Amino acid sequence: MLKDYRDWLESELKLLGNASHHAYSFGQANMAKRALERLDGELAAGLYLRLDRAEARRILTAIEMESERTTSAPPEFETLRDALKAALAEETPSA
């Protein structure tokens, strides 16, 4: 999904670059360029995985079950659990 967005931004940048004789197009091209730079910075700083919601819930459940079963779970599992919880909470529409 992020790759698709990046590709779209690049195509917009090329399209707007070809029409740079218009002041509006020049400004839009600069905005697209800054958006690409920011997206590249975000992508370089993190790791993004695409999981469907059901799969993410299954992984979260497995981590929570393992945490209940043992008191010596690696702290990395806690980090992953917290990240999954936060991602699922963001995706859940509030009622």
The domain segmentation of the chain, as residue ranges, is 2-45, 53-91
Look at the chain and count its residues: 95
pLDDT at 19 over 70: no
Residue 9 in contact with residue 32, Cβ under 8 Å? yes
pLDDT at 4: 80
3-class state of residue 68 by DSSP: helix
For the entire predicted model, the pTM comes to 0.54
- How many CA atoms lie within 13 Å of 90's alpha carbon, on the beta-carbon side? 7
7-18 mean pLDDT: 74
